[in-house]
Amino acid sequence: MDPAMLIDPLFRVPFATGLLLACVLPLIGALLMLREEWLAALGLAHLAAAGALLSLAAGAPAVAGGLLAALGGGAVKGLVGARGNAAYAFMILGGWSALLLIAANTAIGDSLGHALVEGQLYFAGRTDLAAAIALALVAAPALAWLMPRLLRARLFPRDEAANALPAHRWHLGFDLLAATAMAVGTATLGLMGAFALVFVPAWAAFRLASGWRATLTLSAAVGVVGFVAAFQLALALDQPFGPVLVGVLLATAGSVLLPDLLRARARSARVDAGAPGWPKPGGSQVRPPP
C-alpha cells in the first residue's frame, strides 16, 4: 500500500471528505451509546438513503434529499419525546420500504439504490466535501454545548425536571445533529459504512476507556485509523470502499474482544486441568477452606 495514494489528485477530495466524517461520526456514536440509542444510526441512515435516492431521481444532489429525510425523522422523534431504540426500529422499517419502492419505481432503478447502500466515496465531489466541512463546523460547537447537558441528563435523570430545565432544547438539538451527520455520512460512505463508523468505534471505546474524555478520544482515534486503513486497503486491492471499511472495523472489534476470550479460555483450561481450589471433572475433590 502506497501512502502517496492518499494525496493523489484523483482521490484527494474523497479522502478529505471521508476523513472529516471519520472524525465526527464516532463522536456522535459515543453520545448515542451513552443514551442507549445506538440503533439511531441505522434508523436515520435508512431514512437518509431513501431521501437521497428520491433526490437523485428528481435530479437533485443526494445530500439534499438525505438531509431532509433524516432531519424529518429526527425532528418527529424529538418532538414526540420518544426515547430508546423503538422509534429508530420504525425508521429502519420505513426507510427500507421506501428505499426499495423508490428504486423499483424510478428510472434510475436499483443501481443507485445499491450504490447508496454500499457507498460511493470514490465518486465524492466538491458538494460532498462541502457538506462534510459544514457538518464538522456545526458539530464542533454543538457537541461542546450538548455534551455536558446530555451527560447530566444520563447520570442525573431527575435533575432536569427538578430544576425545570428546558431539556427539550438539547435533546431535540442532538436528534437533529445526529440526523444531519447520518444524512451526510450515508450519502458519501453508504448506509452500512456510516453505521459502522458510528457504532463500532464507540462500542470499542466504551469497553476500553476509563472515562468520558478517554471515550471520546478513543472513539475518534478508532474511526480515523480504521478509515485510513480501509481507504488504502480498498485502493490497493481494487475493492469497493464500504465493505472494506466495515470489514476493517469488524476486525478492530474482534481485537477488542480477543483478550476477554483468551482470559475466558485460560480460566476454562485451569478448571479442566483441576487447578488448586477447583474440583477435577468427574472427581470428588472439594475446594479447601480459606
Q: pLDDT per residue over 199-253, tens digit each? A: 999 999 999 988 899 999 999 999 999 999 999 898 888 888 888 999 999 999 9
Full pLDDT tens readout for the chain, 290 residues: 556 666 666 788 889 999 999 999 999 999 988 888 777 777 888 888 888 777 777 777 777 778 888 888 777 776 666 666 677 778 888 888 887 787 777 766 555 556 666 667 877 788 888 989 999 999 999 999 988 888 887 777 676 666 656 666 777 888 888 888 988 888 888 888 888 999 999 999 999 988 899 999 999 999 999 999 999 898 888 888 888 999 999 999 988 888 777 776 777 666 666 655 555 555 444 454 55
Q: What is the rounded distance in angstroms from the CA atom of residue 243 to the CA atom of residue 234?
A: 9
Domain ranges of the chain: 3-272
Alpha-helical runs (H) found in the chain: 12-34, 40-57, 62-79, 86-104, 109-118, 126-155, 159-162, 167-189, 191-208, 212-237, 241-272
Q: Which residues contact 90 (CB under 8 A, 6 or more apart)?
A: 43
21 and 184 in contact (C-beta within 8 Å)? yes
C-alpha cell of residue 101 = 419502492
Half-sphere exposure of 206 (CA within 13 A, CB side): 17
Q: What is the pTM of this model?
A: 0.78
Q: Which residues contact 254 (CB under 8 A, 6 or more apart)?
A: none
- What is the DSSP secondary structure assignment for residue 5, as one 8-state letter? G
- What is the DSSP secondary structure assignment for residue 287, as one 8-state letter? P
Determine the straight-line distance between the first and last CA of the chain, rounded to whole angstroms: 58
3-272: what fold? Answer: ABC transporter involved in vitamin B12 uptake, BtuC (1.10.3470)
235 and 283 in contact (C-beta within 8 Å)? no
Q: CA 201 from chain center: how many Å? A: 8
